[in-house]
């Protein structure tokens, strides 16, 4: 997930929530609070997603390194003698 498309989606979602809340309640301040809550939730979700990607990548790297080290020397590069 790239930051640019996420930023566009986050902005669109935040504006939609703000307009929806303003239309439903008629209060600018309540719409502002809901907009802030939306931004916090989206940012926390993005942070959790990035942490998960980093954690998975380190696990994949460790697993691939273990599988390479467990093979006999003649079989590591695809040569089967």
Looking at per-residue pLDDT, the higher value among 66 and 53 belongs to 53
- Cα separations (Å) of 63 from 66, 71, 75? 5, 13, 17
How many whole angstroms separate alpha carbon 2 and alpha carbon 56? 17
The neighbour count for residue 33, using CB atoms within 10 Å, is 13
Reported as a pLDDT band with limits 50, 70 and 90, residue 38 is very high
Looking at per-residue pLDDT, the higher value among 81 and 22 belongs to 22
Say which DSSP state 27 is in. -
pTM score: 0.63
Q: What are the domain boundaries of the chain?
A: 3-65
| 2-12 confidence digits (pLDDT tens) | 778 888 988 99
Q: What is the mean pLDDT of residues 11-25?
A: 93
pLDDT value of residue 77: 59
């Amino acid at each position: 997930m790239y930051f640019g498309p996420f930023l566009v989606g986050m902005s669109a979602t935040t504006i939609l929530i703000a307009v929806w809340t303003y239309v439903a309640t008629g209060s600018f301040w309540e719409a502002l609070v809901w907009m802030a809550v939306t931004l916090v939730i989206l940012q926390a979700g993005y942070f959790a997603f990035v942490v998960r990607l980093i954690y998975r990548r380190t696990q994949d790297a460790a697993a691939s390194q273990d599988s390479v080290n467990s093979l006999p020397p003649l079989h590591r590069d695809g040569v089967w003698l």
